[in-house]
Chain A
Amino acid sequence: MARQTVIPFGPQHPVLPEPIHFDLVTEDERVIDAIPSISYVHRGLERLIEKRDFIDFVHVADRICGLCSFMHCMGYCQAVEQIMGIEVPERAQYLRVFWAELSRVHSHIFWLGVAADAFGFESLFMQSLRLREVVLNIFEETTGARVILGMCKVGGVRRDIDAESLKGILDRLKGLGNDLNELCGVFINDYSIKHRLVGVGQISKEDAYKLGCVGPMARASGLALDMRVLGYGAYKQLDVEPMVESAGDCYARCLVRIRETFHSIDLIRQAAGKIPDGPIDLKVKGAPEGEYFSRIEQPRGEVIHYVKGNGSRFLQRFRVRVPTFSNIPAMIKVLKGSEVADVPNIILTLDPCISCTER
């Protein structure tokens, strides 16, 4: 029997710009156990809610994560609106879907780039980030910010998009779709990429279900879990279809994300065709009293925002359960038995967002 060695991995690692640490117990080149440790960037956001007005807390919810900033904001606002019984104007709901899907597009393109970087395909990484810039520019033109949008508020959204710029955005997204098609051809067909991804980090449908996978990780294993199907916001008027693959390996996760990116662009087109005229926000009176679980679909999977209020301006409890947290057990399961060289790939195909996880 080979001698066991412990290899520390992270919290700072060239391919993993996320503060998570693993102790990889290895035998020769094979990982036999992985012990994760997190909590390097705990910020105590959930406690902060007791000291901040619930309207102002939207700005804090916005800053939980950079890539899915808008979705955290949206989840928090939805929870508060449900408690207070606020009927958000329909145009605001469509605008929320619009920005949420754009966030998904930019998050997935960013992920494709970082994954390319992880398996050493530097030029593909650069090309992906070049395409992502299109979405960031759309964000800047419609909201005034590139990453943390600050557009959601309790009762609606803060800025409208006029019909002309909506049309311009759709044209640019069409161009982005064409460029992306070319780039994704590389991800899908290239010999060296397939060599790094096919059959690596496989997780079966049963395991994915038992370990509580969410998002692309679950969908790549054949579980059709997509919270957008529940029809929150304006999704009930749109044609949402969960993208499912069956192989459950890194390549399948990559395919799921590629197909989702195109689906998101399609959803934006659908939303732009159906968006009604009307007000974009509602005046909010009173304070929330009660509790609510809001479930929405982020780029990485299902996120839960639990909000409890006692009728004052300061909420009592706020809890976020982010997708990375529920995917960590599956990641540990996959890491056991893999090669050391595949570890960065496996961790990245999960698309970890540790800052979200620790809040």
Chain B
Amino acid sequence: MRSFTMSKTVIRNLLKGPATLMYPKKGRTFTAITRGRVEIDINTCIHCGLCARRCPTDAITVTKECKEWQIDRLKCCTCNLCVEICPVKCLSMKNQYSPVVSDKSEAIYATRPNETAPSPPVHDLKGEGA
């Protein structure tokens, strides 16, 4: 039985400074493959609807008539299956998480080709990119 077993760790901690980040000031770097959120390049999309059929949580809705692509980010489980199945590779997995919302309807993101898409949610958090 010994006492003061933590002293070595404590002294090293005092010299090394904190192990945590000063978060909003210093952004966290994500890895290149971090599954954050699904994004679409709507102008190359062919509206085949394969992503919506593959989605295990039914988060994606594709309307062929009005060429609308819609995702509910709260339903999405970022499994990457839609990105893998997309035949024209217009879907991509970004490594920054989707932002916080205060209402469920705010998490639904819809877009149509050749129009100024509703500006995607603001990502002012630092750390985008690997």
Residues of chain A touching chain B, judged by Cβ–Cβ distance below 8 Å, are: 52-53, 56, 59, 63, 123-124, 127, 130, 133, 140-141, 143-145, 150, 158-159, 182-183, 185-186, 189-192, 194
Which residues of chain B have C-beta atoms less than 8 A from A141's C-beta? Answer: 31, 33
- B35 and A130: CB pair below 8 A? no
- A123 and B6: CB pair below 8 A? yes
Bound CA span A52–B34, Å:
26
- B5 and A190: CB pair below 8 A? yes
- A145 and B78: CB pair below 8 A? yes
- B8 and A182: CB pair below 8 A? yes
Nearest-Cβ distance from residue A111 to partner chain B, whole angstroms: 19
Nearest-Cβ distance from residue B24 to partner chain A, whole angstroms: 19
Please tell me which one of the listed residues A124, A140, A159, A182 contacts residue B34 in the complex, with CB atoms under 8 A apart: A140
- A183 and B1: CB pair below 8 A? no
Bound CA span A130–B21, Å:
12
- B80 and A185: CB pair below 8 A? no
Bound CA span A174–B75, Å:
39
Nearest-Cβ distance from residue A140 to partner chain B, whole angstroms: 5
Which residues of chain A have C-beta atoms less than 8 A from B116's C-beta? Answer: none
- A182 and B56: CB pair below 8 A? no
Interface flag for B104 (CB, 8 Å) = no
CB<8 Å pairs between A and B, sample of 14: A52-B56, A59-B77, A59-B79, A141-B31, A144-B34, A144-B35, A145-B78, A150-B78, A150-B79, A185-B5, A186-B5, A189-B1, A190-B5, A192-B3
With A123-B10, A140-B34 known to touch, is A189 a contact of B80 (CB < 8 Å)?
Answer: no
Which residues of chain B have C-beta atoms less than 8 A from A182's C-beta? Answer: 8-9
Interface flag for B19 (CB, 8 Å) = yes
Q: How many residues of B contact A (CB 8 A)?
A: 21
Bound CA span A186–B1, Å:
10
Nearest-Cβ distance from residue A58 to partner chain B, whole angstroms: 9
What sequence of 0s and 1s flags, for each residue 62-88 of chain B, a beta carbon within 8 Å of any chain A beta carbon?
000000000000000111100000000
- A144 and B31: CB pair below 8 A? yes
Q: Is the interface of A mostly helix, strand, loop or mixed?
A: helix
Nearest-Cβ distance from residue B28 to partner chain A, whole angstroms: 10
- A144 and B33: CB pair below 8 A? yes
Which residues of chain B have C-beta atoms less than 8 A from A158's C-beta? Answer: 80
- A183 and B9: CB pair below 8 A? yes
Q: Give 13 A-B pairs besides A144-B31, A145-B34, A190-B3 with Cβ atoms closer than 8 angstroms.
A: A127-B9, A133-B19, A140-B34, A144-B93, A145-B35, A150-B35, A150-B77, A150-B78, A182-B8, A182-B9, A189-B1, A190-B6, A194-B1
Bound CA span A159–B79, Å:
12
Nearest-Cβ distance from residue A61 to partner chain B, whole angstroms: 12
- B2 and A191: CB pair below 8 A? yes
- B6 and A124: CB pair below 8 A? yes
Bound CA span A296–B93, Å:
32
What sequence of 0s and 1s flags, for each residue 10-34 of chain B, a beta carbon within 8 Å of any chain A beta carbon?
1000000001000000000011011
Which residues of chain B have C-beta atoms less than 8 A from A63's C-beta? Answer: 77
Most buried by A among B3, B10, B31, B57: B31
Please tell me which one of the listed residues A56, A140, A145, A189 contacts residue B56 in the complex, with CB atoms under 8 A apart: A56
- B3 and A140: CB pair below 8 A? no
- A191 and B3: CB pair below 8 A? yes
Nearest-Cβ distance from residue B33 to partner chain A, whole angstroms: 4
Please tell me which one of the listed residues A140, A150, A189, A191 contacts residue B31 in the complex, with CB atoms under 8 A apart: A140
Which residues of chain A have C-beta atoms less than 8 A from B5's C-beta? Answer: 185-186, 189-190
Nearest-Cβ distance from residue B50 to partner chain A, whole angstroms: 15
Bound CA span A63–B77, Å:
10
Bound CA span A145–B37, Å:
12
Which residues of chain A have C-beta atoms less than 8 A from B31's C-beta? Answer: 140-141, 144
Closest B residue, CB atoms, query A143: B33
Bound CA span A192–B57, Å:
49
Bound CA span A247–B34, Å:
44
Bound CA span A91–B56, Å:
26
Please tell me which one of the listed residues A130, A140, A192 contacts residue B19 in the complex, with CB atoms under 8 A apart: A130
Bound CA span A189–B34, Å:
40
